[in-house]
Each structure stands twice: as structure tokens, then as C-alpha cells.
Amino acid sequence: MKISVLINNYNYQHYVSDAIDSVLQQSFPVNEIIVVDDKSTDKSAHILDKNFAANEKVKLVLKDKNEGQLSSFNGGFIASCGEIICFLDADDLYKENYIAEVVKFYQEHPECDFLFCSAEVFGNEERIASCYNNTRDLGYSRIATLYKKAWVGHRTSTVSMRRHVLEKFLPLPQLEDWRTRADDCLVFGASIVGARKFYLAKPLVMYRAHGNNNHYGQKQKRTPEYLDKYKQAVDNLLGFLAEKMSYPSNLYEQAHIEFRTIPKPNEQEFNIYESIIHKSDLLVLNKLSRFLSIYIHFISRGGFLSLVRIKLLWLRNKIQRFTLKLYRLPQSKTNTTA
């Protein structure tokens, strides 16, 4: 099983060597490290050439134009040859057993197409960034992603996937939309092309918090204008991928089938699929049969109490809205009379 690690770098001269060294020092050796420098304005290119040009495992892709993170993903993937592609931001690190754990997981779970793990945050803050409490089979998520923008993944450096998955959606053309936060393209793209995803509940990656992280939450203020632009970028990406995969417009009819690919769905996942079915234009009997399908699966996998809680919250909200209407009605009449 050949392993490629793709490192994207932009102006991280103080960190990129450490990132590469963390891969070279793995207990399970990788086949290649592809380092893409996105025309950094600092001394990154000089440092990379000086320290790693002679290393046979390190392939340097020094771009002559700055085009952003998605462009680096595109170029790095094209230059790679691994069966498993692992991603690493230039300011993060792999723990020494990361690759060994990843290889073991893919070998033991041949159905796994996309794997992400927990991360240990260090630097300006210290904590474990986890998505779930336990290792999970998350099933398929193309319908949840297309209709509810479900984001089934984690930070760039925690992500790996099989080559055949990436071949279905990379390279992507929307470079300007994804100069930063291009890990969304990896997460959304893998879901839409049909990757079965798994989560490994081990903090095998070191995520460096240093105040200048080149991601959406740090580099851009969440102004309404920026959020609108981001939403449009996501819509464009999902639409492009759906068209590329030739999906029919009524893919939502299979939502109940996709939900049942999750062995132990949680409340959030249940709510997503229930909402997709509820908002569809299916006939009443077809909706009911699909509701029954997801209810039975959820309850049979230990979700009975969660389902009761969901429905009680739904009932409480209904009562609150009804009470609010009753409260406003007399006031409205009084104001009209006045």
C-alpha cells in the first residue's frame, strides 16, 4: 500500500520544515512527501530547496504563481502516486505513529474510503479537538451533503482518503472561491462522489494554534458579505460536483437508504435525514414509508430515548409557538380597535 503525504505551504517558513520532519520520522515510512509551495513571499522556497531538495522522498512543487490552497491540493495530487493520500498543513505535525495507524485502519476496513481522526491542539491553546466520542463508521453522505450541506470531516491534517476517491473530483476549477478553507472541497467532494467515511477517535495529529492560521475563521471576518460569498462558493461546488456525477434531481428519494448505511446514527444525523424526507415533494404514503424506515433503523440501533427526546422538543416548540400566537392575538385586536 503506497502512501503519499501532500503538504501545502504558504508563508510558513518557521513551521514547514518541522511538518516535513514529522512525516520523515514516522514509525511506518511513507513512499513520498509532496510539498507544494504556493509562491510564498517569505523564505519558504529557499528553506525547502536547501533542506529537502536532496531527499529522494520529498518532491518539491514550487509554484510561480500564488493561487491559493485548492490549487495546491490540485497540483499536489497530480504529482502524487500513492494509493492512500494523506493531507498535512505546513504548520501542523503528525505524531510518529499516525501513518502506522492510518495504514492499519485501511487494511482492517477495506470498505473505508475516507478517514479522519482527532487532533491535539497546541501552541496558543491546548485541547483535544474531537468530532465524536468513539471511532465510528459514518456510512455514506452524498444526499446529506447535497441537500443539507452536511460536513462529515475534520481539519485538513486529520484527513486521508483512497486515491480512487480523489480521482473522481480533483482537480477542481474553482480556485478563487477556495484560496483558503479548501479542506471543505476535500470533505464535500469525497461525500458527493460516494466515499464511505470513518472517524478514528485518536488524536494522532498536532494542530498548531498560532494566531495566523490560514483558514476561514482566522483570516476572514465573518461579515454578512463574506458569509454570503462563502455560501455561494459552497453552492457552486456542490452543483458542479452533482452535475459531474450526473445525479438525478430526485436523489432525495434515496435518503432513507443512505441513512441506513450509518450503523449507529446519532441525533444530529437522524434530524438531517428526517428533514430531507419531510421537505421533499414525495407523496404522503411514500414519505411515511421512508419515515418508518429511518425510525426503525434509529430505534433498533439504540436511539429510542433520543427519538423520544427529539419528539418532546418538537412538541414543546409547537406548544410555545401556539401559545405565542394566542398571546399576540388579543393585542392585535386591541390595537385594531384603538
Nearest to 263 by CA among 290, 293, 302: 302
Q: Is the pLDDT of residue 315 over 70?
A: no
Kind plus residue range of the DSSP H or E element containing 107: helix 98-108
Q: What is the pLDDT of residue 336?
A: 47
Greatest Cα pair distance in the chain: 87
43, three cell numbers: 523564505
Amino acid at 162: R
Give the pLDDT confidence of 39-63 residue by residue, as tens digits. 999 999 999 999 999 999 999 999 9
pLDDT at 314: 62
pLDDT in tens, 218-270: 445 678 999 999 999 999 999 999 999 999 999 999 999 999 999 999 999 99
Spatial separation of the C-alpha atoms in residues 100 and 236, rounded to whole Å? 37
Could you tell me if 172 and 77 are in contact, meaning their C-beta atoms sit under 8 angstroms apart?
no
Can you tell me which residue has the cell 414519505? Answer: 287
Alpha-carbon span 8 to 156, nearest angstrom: 10
Whole-number pLDDT of residue 301: 81
Q: What is the pLDDT of residues 151-168, one digit of tens each?
A: 999 999 999 999 999 999
- Which backbone phi and psi does 128 adopt, to 5 degrees? -100, 120
Q: Of the candidates 173, 161, 164, 141, which has an alpha carbon nearest to the alpha carbon of residue 244?
A: 173
| Whether residue 144 has pLDDT greater than 80 | yes
DSSP letter for each residue of 61-72: EE-SS---HHHH
Cell of 131: 468530532
Which pLDDT score is estimated for 222?
Answer: 75
- In sequence order, what are the beta bridge partners of 34? 6, 59
pLDDT value of residue 302: 77
CA-atom Rg of the chain in angstroms = 23
Q: How much is the average pLDDT of 138-144?
A: 99
pLDDT of residue 210: 85
Range 188-202 average pLDDT: 99
- Taking residues 84-90, what's their average pLDDT? 99
pLDDT at 338: 44
Least confident of 87-96, 189-198, 269-278, 293-302: 293-302
CB-facing half-sphere around the CA of 308: CA atoms within 13 A: 3
For residue 216, what pLDDT band results from cuts at 50, 70 and 90? very low
Answer yes or no: is pLDDT of 331 > 70. no
How many CA atoms lie less than 13 Å away from 251 in the CB half-sphere?
A: 18
Burial of 252 (0-12, 13-18, 19+ CB in 10 A): buried
**What is the DSSP annotation of 184-219?**
HHHHHHHHHTT--EEEEEEEEEEEEE-S---SHHHH
For the chain, percent of residues with pLDDT exceeding 90: 84
Q: Report pLDDT for 329.
A: 58
φ, ψ at 77 (rounded to 5°) = -65, -45
Q: What is the pLDDT of residue 305?
A: 66
Q: Which amino acid is at 21?
A: D
Nearest to 166 by CA among 243, 95, 86, 65: 86
- What number is the average pLDDT over the span 178-207? 98
140 and 152 in contact (C-beta within 8 Å)?
Answer: no
Residue 297, φ and ψ in degrees, nearest 5: -65, -45
Does position 197 have pLDDT exceeding 50, yes or no? yes
**Strand, coil or helix: 78:** helix
- The answer to whether the pTM exceeds 0.85 is yes
Per DSSP bridges, beta strands 58-62 and 32-37 are parallel
* Domains within the chain, CATH numbers bracketed: 3-242 (3.90.550.10), 251-324 (no CATH)
